[in-house]
Structure 1
Amino acid sequence: MCTNNQEKGSSGVARSSSLPISPFAPRFLSVQENQWVHQSVLLVFGQVGLPERPCDGMITVHHHLEGYPPTQWPVNCGYFKVLVHLDPGPNRLRFDFTGAKIPCTSSSVVVNFLPLTSSPPLYLAIVLAKDSPGEYECQSDRKQREGNDIRMAKRKLRMAAYLAQAFTGEQMYRNRLGRRCFRLEEEWAEDSLSNKENGVMHSIAKVHVIRSEKTVAEIQNLETARDGAALLDIASAAVDKYFQYFQNLSVNSKRHVAVLMFDAKDDLRIEGLINHSALSNEIGVCGTRSLYTFPSCLEEVVPAFTDCTRIEGNSTSVNETTDLGSFWEAATSAMGNMIEAFISPQPPVQPRELDRINRTFTTKEPYLFKTKSAGLRICLPQEECNWSRVDCLRLRHHPCFRLPTDPVITAGHDNPQIYAIENGMFASASSGIFLVEIYTDDTYRAHLEFTTKIEREVQLLESELREKLPQDCRSKVIKLKIYSAGQGQTIIDDFSATKGAKVQLPNGYGVAYKSSSLGLSDTDGSKPQEVYLHTLTPGRILTSIRVFHSTALDGLEFVYEDSSSQLFGHRGDKNDRKTEISDFSLDTRKGESLLGFSVRAGSWVDGIEILTSLGRRSPLFGNPHGGTSTLIPPRGRSIAGVSGSCAQCVDCFSILYK
């Protein structure tokens, strides 16, 4: 009986008492009492005993609900790592420690699980060839013991997804970004997270099984040719068709799908796939290499990552090396590749070390056969692999990681806009700027983060940016990647080149600056245009803006109080009945003036909205296609004109400000 330092409640789960706490009672280092989490499987890291007297033993975890059987986890040198399956609501967990010549001791903790059902889920899918026999490559003894069919593949993929969830959730917490994590699409089904077959029903991750229109030979030929782009097309086509016809989701619905290409024997970390992931590119693909070494339930996690069974040398993987290593090394490598394909922000900023993912779930590391070296005696957090700070920041604002307390992002996909100033630039986005990455020679050097408060406008000064660089890089060309909370991104290849955005205004009105341009300006017959607004002259008042539009923006006419006007673009073809003319008036009696524009643009300007100083915005003129960008001058500056180019429609647009 574990009554050393706990009293038992009516549920059988221990609750704290006023008795002295035994030094051998489990202590929790990664979770706090009554903490709220948002993931089904939680990683708990803790300690037993005294630092000067490390001990080994076993932790048994009991859940207060009967549907969750007890699980056992090793204690090594006084440390333990446990994976706990949580139920929505409060989870009262008791941790019993038993060791040689040590009385049984217990500690308990309450963890609250709130599923984030309003966030988009990560879908899990297995894509098979149309003639697939439904068996993955497996070593003979493992095949006899557990099988290698679709049923087992679903269990292993599901467990791998929960491990990725536990790892990512812990990384976000360690980076002080809250208990945030992606959620998996779940279904009410018989629980497979325990090897104790008790027929209990739980919400567990759903794995879709999808048949492709390609054959096994076609898929494996592309794999041998290392044609990742073609394999991605096969997976995308199968997934789109399946979700359209069987899940009532349109082809254009944004979803994140993690795909296991069942008949591909390699890991598929090849050109065309290596910089794709489910969370970054909506679909991520990996193969079944070493799938048989994966755990299929919680009880198998530690054995899977400590199994020193040697791999037989008859594998047909196209990437296999001479020394195949052991089961645990294969499981670690494959698990790292799967996390890279399913979760990772792409493209990577820094080299990732996911080939040590085993250390996240175990407290010691076995012998490494591939390098012929001893593993770690104790795996502490500082020796584990991790998401870099920049990776965590990029995940922080992903829609799948949103918390109920996060501000609502209404701007959609909002690319940051760049505004040059005398000694640097402003970056602006309606959804806010949260990250600026600094590069030289296409290599990441440093970053600026805005996590406490997302800034809608960020000033970037060249002197401050260069101070953040290593000494030997401070004279080199600076490249920036700027991220918005609306999942937009803008790349500045040469920070110093923004000084060329200076424009000399006529009639002695001084200097203006040009914003970043929207549209590609590559339409046949495109000609540059610039309009300097008459409002530069004191006393001139802009009263309305007339918009000429059809399926794109044809032109803008700025109308003044004396009925004079200025035209940017053209008024459209008079014989073309599709051209529409829309007027948007400013309330000059209240001092309303032109503030900026919200622009829909791709190769050309699809549509435009007019923004005013009183917070009004016009209807959308044109069509709603293309990415959304907002052009508003930095604080303390006003619009001096517009610039761009025009052919049949406006194919490039920017604002001038001073």
Structure 2
Amino acid sequence: MFVFTNIEDGEEVYQRCVLVSGMIVACPDEGFVQVTTRSDSDTTLFPDQRWPLVKGHFKALLMLTPGTNRITLRSSHGAAVASTISLRYVPLLQTPPLHLAVLVANDSPLLIDCPPCKYGGLSTTHSSLDAALAKFRLTAYMWQALTAEEFRSQGLGRRSFRLEEEYGLPDTLSSTFSPTATSGAAAPPFSLSPAKIHLIHAPHTVAYLRDAQRAQQNPNGCRRDELHTIFSTALRAHGAPFTTAARPVVAGLLLDAAYAPDQSMLLGHAALGAHDPAGLSLGIFGSHLTYAWPRFLEEVPLCLSDATPPGDTVCNDNGECTTCWRACAVGQGAFLHEVGHAFGAPHSSGIMMRGYSPDWVKVFLPTEEAGRGEEHDCHWDLSDLLRFKALGQFKVPGDREVDGAMPAFEIIEEGEEGEGDAGGVKVLCEGGLGMVLLNGTAEDGVSVRAPVKEVKLGLKALEERFQRGRPLELVAVGMNGKQRKTDVWKLLSSKAWVHVPGTKIRLLKKCAGEEKPDGEEYTWAVMLKKRGRDGKLVTASKIDVRVGCGFDGAVVHYRDGKTVPCGLWQHRGHDDETHGMGGHQAKKIYLRKDSEVVRVAVNTAGGWGLAGMRLWLADGRAMGALNKSSSSDKEDIKILTAEPGHGIIGFYGATGLGGMCHRFGIVTAPKDVDLPGSVYDMEELRNDVEVHRKRKNGSKDQGRKRQKMELESETEEDESDSGSGDDDDDYDSEVDDEAMMDE
């Protein structure tokens, strides 16, 4: 008895090529399944096919004809083991198709690379233009079937792009239709509409296209992206259907790509794809692996299992084409990767991260793992499928318009959701959330099968699951395919408070300056106490305010001789690690053990960052420079003080990767509360080398752009700071009355 695992009897489908899978109960391990396709009137609609059985499991590609298709499957172990299902194929001619095009040089020999092992009876069996077109056509239908199955398995309904087809063209999808078919093969008694492939004639010679400077895999090439431009220009010159106004999406094959053994270089090839929602979208790939692709449906199982080494006359692309089946997988899969770019997919996961290379075969043929919950990486990322679903090429009847708004993040303030609530993050999307990921793992309760408009991530639960200080990437994917990402800890650090885990204590924050885009700034925090090497808390002994023409930042000195910068750590090529800050107006202010910082003034008028900073102690002493000028606006000077009942315990801010401080703020705590020592262990309130290294390494793991810095240990000061070893000029007891009046 046949059991189908991915399709139902009577199902209506909208693409010509359909991948079906299932198993035969109580069937011997090996053998084959014979597939017959007929109409309701018992007319043959497509030649019979055979697909292998592995451990009783099977997969088969069906080529359908518009209308009702009666599909009968029979086991090779006996005609009595058979099953018939009915599928109704409805072509959606109103949707824009994926176009297929082949670029041909003006003096092309119309041949593709082909190793001797693929010659068969004739050297042109797999290398002629006709063979290349047949292989390209069948490959596109395989892409179509794979994509439809991916949509179905992810709960988005069976859908795929349609191919531009033309009635009356010779069909090449079965060897039965080939002019070289064995004697007596009957011509199909019905009208065919195979995928149309446009021959695009380039105004260039083969030598021009194969110039090593244009070879994408030539590390010294100076025009490695030019083949994409050449192809795009030739398509537009060809005219319809490739006009800009038509906004076509095109899969383009470079026919004259060829491997040059004497140079060990692949010429005339580029694997590139680009999406232009207002014009021509194109993904291109060379023909150098096309020899390994199947020409006919009957050749699919063989081509995907052929372990013959191709030899030295053809390209071993990326070192992955050591057998013919691997060359087939890399060629068909990498080309689909570029088509994915043409549809707007980034480098996400699965196919868009080369998941096709090892696992292409598992999509189309059953494997030894078939009975054990087979998994593989040759898939479309869910975010890509949602992105595709919003395109016209993937629309199906019954689709409703989805709100086009981007997902959004909101900070939940403490107590906002009820008594005892510690706050957190709210994820919103008016069109529905299809997926929410934290560090790449999908959150439960969010699904494309049951999208929600809002997800709440509580701070307490986040702190239990993830470590503070290391990037926590939050990705929200809307049902419209749009997505937004953020670092949760960085987002929460932008709020006006910090929750101390395990307590009810809230530290408050105030800041002056402008935020830069993610990846263009380094955020930091420095407390006026820190944990020493013996585990005891060490207080600050002085603050070095580094002001020149602008505000570089500050350096906090501690009584154990260590320093921590309010800004970037930078390796200066010496044995020690230093902050590297300049500032001709730099001054230090000594802190007695009972000293308290009570006010900070910041000049926000600097064009490249903050123009200056000055701070005051409770005893009236002040230090720093605001760099005020006669043209400065009063509004440029921001005064930061603690709320009533709070005191300043540290600073926080952000420094541009060029080294200038562009945000500076204060961290305050309740004066009537004894702060637990754990406050000074919180990574988001530290800027020592250990935390910096974690942030740096964590950022690499998340693929974030960060300035490259080599950090090994904290800075050691030679001097022993007792408050008496500094020059008198380093201390300024003047009170800046003008700045205080600006409060």
Q: TM-score, normalised by structure 1?
A: 0.61
Distance 1:262 1:490 in 2: 39
Go from structure 1 to structure 2 and tell me whether the alpha carbon gap of 1:127 and 1:147 turns closer, same or farther (over 3 Å shift).
Answer: same
Go from structure 1 to structure 2 and tell me whether the alpha carbon gap of 1:516 and 1:177 turns closer, same or farther (over 3 Å shift).
Answer: farther
Post-superposition offset of 1:239? 2.8
Deviations 1:48-102 (A, max 9, x none): 2416x54534424232243422222233432222111112232111223232xx4
User: What aligned pairs does 1:473-552 form with structure 2 within 5 A after superposition?
Assistant: 476-493=470-487, 495-497=489-491, 499-500=493-494
User: What aligned pairs does 1:188-227 form with structure 2 within 5 A after superposition?
Assistant: 188=167, 189-197=169-177, 198=187, 200-220=190-210, 221=212, 222-223=214-215, 224-226=217-219
Superposed CA RMSD in Å reads 4.4
Distance 2:154 2:474 in 1: 23
User: What aligned pairs does 1:274-423 form with structure 2 within 5 A after superposition?
Assistant: 276=273, 282-316=281-315, 319=318, 325-343=322-340, 345-349=345-349, 352-354=354-356, 355-364=358-367, 376=368, 382-387=374-379, 390=382, 393-394=385-386, 397-399=389-391, 400-409=393-402, 411=404, 414-422=405-413, 423=423
8 Å CA contact 1:171–1:392 kept in 2: the answer is no
8 Å CA contact 2:468–2:489 kept in 1: the answer is no
8 Å CA contact 2:34–2:76 kept in 1: the answer is yes
Distance 1:227 1:258 in 2: 27
Secondary structure at the aligned position of 1:482 is classed as strand
Go from structure 1 to structure 2 and tell me whether the alpha carbon gap of 1:408 and 1:207 turns closer, same or farther (over 3 Å shift).
Answer: same
Distance 1:244 1:457 in 2: 48
Q: Which amino acid aligns with 1:260?
A: L
8 Å CA contact 2:33–2:73 kept in 1: the answer is no
Go from structure 1 to structure 2 and tell me whether the alpha carbon gap of 1:74 and 1:421 turns closer, same or farther (over 3 Å shift).
Answer: closer
Mean Cα deviation higher: 207-216 or 290-299? 207-216
Go from structure 1 to structure 2 and tell me whether the alpha carbon gap of 1:66 and 1:31 turns closer, same or farther (over 3 Å shift).
Answer: same
Larger radius of gyration: 2
Go from structure 1 to structure 2 and tell me whether the alpha carbon gap of 1:526 and 1:476 turns closer, same or farther (over 3 Å shift).
Answer: closer
Secondary structure at the aligned position of 2:44 is classed as coil
8 Å CA contact 1:420–1:501 kept in 2: the answer is yes
Who is 1:609 aligned against?
none
Post-superposition offset of 1:108? 0.6
Post-superposition offset of 1:419? 4.1
Post-superposition offset of 1:113? 2.0
Post-superposition offset of 1:452? 3.7
Post-superposition offset of 1:34? 0.7
Who is 1:150 aligned against?
129
Distance 1:417 1:515 in 2: 21
Distance 2:488 2:106 in 1: 49
8 Å CA contact 1:43–1:83 kept in 2: the answer is yes
2:108 pairs with 1:132: yes
8 Å CA contact 2:53–2:366 kept in 1: the answer is yes
Go from structure 1 to structure 2 and tell me whether the alpha carbon gap of 1:501 and 1:397 turns closer, same or farther (over 3 Å shift).
Answer: farther
8 Å CA contact 2:386–2:479 kept in 1: the answer is no
8 Å CA contact 2:32–2:50 kept in 1: the answer is no
Post-superposition offset of 1:195? 1.1
User: What aligned pairs does 1:452-467 form with structure 2 within 5 A after superposition?
Assistant: 452-455=449-452, 458-464=455-461
Distance 2:102 2:371 in 1: 33
Secondary structure at the aligned position of 2:402 is classed as coil
Post-superposition offset of 1:425? 4.3
List gaps (5 residues or longer) in structure 2.
178-186, 414-422, 498-509, 518-605, 610-743
Deviations 1:364-396 (A, max 9, x none): 5xxxxxxxxxxx486876055442663565456
2:39 pairs with 1:61: no
Of residues 182, 186, 199, the one that matches 2:161 is 182
8 Å CA contact 1:93–1:110 kept in 2: the answer is yes
Go from structure 1 to structure 2 and tell me whether the alpha carbon gap of 1:432 and 1:88 turns closer, same or farther (over 3 Å shift).
Answer: same
Post-superposition offset of 1:194? 1.0
8 Å CA contact 2:254–2:284 kept in 1: the answer is yes
Q: Which amino acid aligns with 2:252?
A: V
Post-superposition offset of 1:202? 2.0
List gaps (5 residues or longer) in structure 1.
1-24, 365-375, 504-510, 519-524, 529-658
Go from structure 1 to structure 2 and tell me whether the alpha carbon gap of 1:109 and 1:56 turns closer, same or farther (over 3 Å shift).
Answer: same
8 Å CA contact 1:438–1:479 kept in 2: the answer is yes
Post-superposition offset of 1:46? 2.5
Post-superposition offset of 1:429? 5.0
Post-superposition offset of 1:458? 4.9
2:87 pairs with 1:90: no
Identical residues among aligned pairs (%): 23
Who is 1:74 aligned against?
52
Who is 1:246 aligned against?
239
Who is 1:34 aligned against?
10
Q: Which amino acid aligns with 2:202?
A: S
Distance 1:165 1:228 in 2: 34
Go from structure 1 to structure 2 and tell me whether the alpha carbon gap of 1:34 and 1:283 turns closer, same or farther (over 3 Å shift).
Answer: same
2:91 pairs with 1:112: no
Deviations 1:13-65 (A, max 9, x none): xxxxxxxxxxxx433232211112222111121222416x5453442423224
Distance 2:430 2:365 in 1: 44
Post-superposition offset of 1:459? 4.6
8 Å CA contact 2:155–2:448 kept in 1: the answer is no
Who is 1:434 aligned against?
434
Deviations 1:193-234 (A, max 9, x none): 111122653222222222334443343312152589955443
Distance 2:286 2:396 in 1: 32
Q: Which amino acid aligns with 1:288?
A: S
Post-superposition offset of 1:301? 0.6
Who is 1:368 aligned against?
none
8 Å CA contact 2:201–2:234 kept in 1: the answer is no
Distance 1:32 1:119 in 2: 25
Who is 2:250 aligned against?
257
Q: Which amino acid aligns with 2:402?
A: I
8 Å CA contact 2:68–2:88 kept in 1: the answer is yes
